[in-house]
């Protein structure tokens, strides 16, 4: 699809004047792991008839790019479990060649990354975020319920060998991986990976109390500053993380703190699920239906829904720590919306 001047002149801007330039697109709600903070052990996944085809995902991506989105992240579930996902990457990646898109990235658990790394590079992926909460095999298996650490590490190594830049995402979990934060920092520095720490987010019903595992990252930062010199960086990658340079390690450290330090003021992103719903905020259940618009009205109807989404995008999320528990108005699992 060629992007016309009239389309490019209609940027997506919400009611608070924030320009939407970043889209996170889920390509599947399925995953081959069951991380405890993300999913219940027994999940009810969407039937095939309810999900967008790869071609439809590509058409929706085209519509966003025409309206000024410059970065797209493919998410899941686990995107690499979706058959044909590399074809989708290639479909969207053609906009990198034209200059209409600045970056196409992916979030993955890396269990299948070794099989796809070279093909992803050929299709346009240059950077991935890998979820890795522990480098202890027993802790890793506990958090993921049945994951094999070696497979994830092999995937990370394959991505690096293929020339893909890797950022490690580590969710801070009280009583599980607090003692691994500094070792993870040192390992990432040695491997040439960036590291982002994330506070657990209250999305969906899981099998345990999130508050029991909630680790406030402002306290973690204070502890790190007793050991290292953290220099604030103005660099942004389009997401909610704030970054520091860990001088002693030569490591770029990101912190995503939805609870201890609200990150909404500069929000530039929306999320689209594999069922074609656009969520204007991760912390709200409000959404609109892009799938029906696309199938029944085509591009014009799709653009009308995007315009409405900008009007409805809230100023901030509703994640909170209340009365001893972590809460949110959002009832869906993170795997439904995409990480």
pLDDT at 84: 97
281 is in an annotated binding site: yes
90 is in an annotated binding site: no
Assigned domain for 330 exists: no
pLDDT at 6: 42
Assigned domain for 261 exists: yes
Question: Which domain range does residue 203 map to?
Answer: 5-320
Assigned domain for 326 exists: no
24 is in an annotated binding site: yes
186 is in an annotated binding site: no
Assigned domain for 16 exists: yes
12: tokens are: 């997506």
Assigned domain for 333 exists: no
188 is in an annotated binding site: no
Assigned domain for 332 exists: no
17 is in an annotated binding site: no
Assigned domain for 89 exists: yes
26: tokens are: 């889920």
DSSP string computed for 216-278: -HHHHHHHHHTTS-EEEE----SSS-EEEEETTTTEEEEEE-TTTS---TT--EEEE-TTSEE
Confidence of residue 3 (pLDDT cuts 50, 70, 90): very low
Assigned domain for 272 exists: yes
pTM, 2 dp: 0.87
Q: Please check whether residue 272 is in contact with residue 25, taking contact to mean a CB–CB distance below 8 angstroms.
A: yes
pLDDT higher for 212 or 82? 82
Whether the pLDDT of residue 2 is over 70: the answer is: no
Give CA–CA dist 186/253, Å, rounded: 11
pLDDT tens profile 144-203: 999 999 999 999 999 999 999 999 999 999 999 999 999 999 999 999 999 999 988 665
pLDDT tens profile 229-272: 999 998 765 567 899 999 999 999 999 886 655 556 678 899 99
107 is in an annotated binding site: yes
Q: What is the CATH classification number for the domain harbouring 86?
A: 3.20.20.70
pLDDT at 168: 98
- How many domains, in total, are found in the chain? 1
């Amino acid at each position: 699809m060629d992007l016309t001047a009239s389309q490019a002149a209609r940027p997506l801007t919400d009611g608070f004047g924030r320009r939407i330039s970043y889209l996170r697109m889920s390509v599947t709600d399925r995953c081959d792991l069951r991380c405890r903070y993300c999913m219940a052990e027994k999940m009810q996944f969407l039937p095939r008839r309810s999900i967008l085809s790869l071609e439809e995902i590509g058409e929706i991506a085209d519509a966003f790019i025409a309206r000024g989105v410059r970065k797209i992240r493919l998410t899941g579930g686990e995107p690499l479990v979706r058959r044909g996902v590399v074809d989708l990457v290639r479909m969207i990646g053609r906009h990198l060649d034209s200059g209409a898109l600045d970056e196409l990235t992916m979030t993955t658990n890396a269990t299948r990354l070794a099989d796809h790394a070279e093909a992803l590079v050929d299709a346009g992926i240059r950077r991935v975020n890998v979820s890795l909460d522990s480098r202890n095999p027993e802790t890793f298996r506990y958090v993921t319920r049945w994951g094999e650490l070696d497979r994830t590490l092999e995937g990370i190594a394959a991505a690096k060998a293929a020339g893909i830049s890797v950022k490690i995402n580590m969710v801070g979990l009280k009583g599980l991986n607090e003692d691994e934060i500094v070792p993870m920092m040192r390992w990432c520095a040695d491997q040439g990976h960036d590291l982002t720490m994330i506070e657990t987010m209250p999305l969906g019903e899981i099998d345990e109390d999130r508050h029991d595992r909630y680790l406030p990252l402002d306290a973690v930062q204070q502890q790190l500053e007793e050991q290292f010199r953290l220099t604030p960086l103005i660099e942004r990658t389009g997401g909610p993380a704030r970054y520091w340079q860990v001088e002693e390690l030569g490591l770029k450290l990101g912190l995503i703190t939805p609870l201890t330090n609200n990150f909404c003021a500069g929000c530039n992103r929306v999320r689209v699920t594999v069922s074609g719903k656009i969520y204007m905020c991760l912390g709200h259940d409000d959404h609109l239906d892009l799938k029906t618009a696309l199938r029944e009205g085509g591009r014009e109807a799709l653009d009308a829904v995007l315009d409405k989404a900008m009007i409805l995008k809230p100023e901030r999320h509703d994640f909170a720590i209340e009365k001893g528990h972590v809460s949110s108005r959002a009832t869906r699992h993170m795997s439904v919306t995409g990480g």
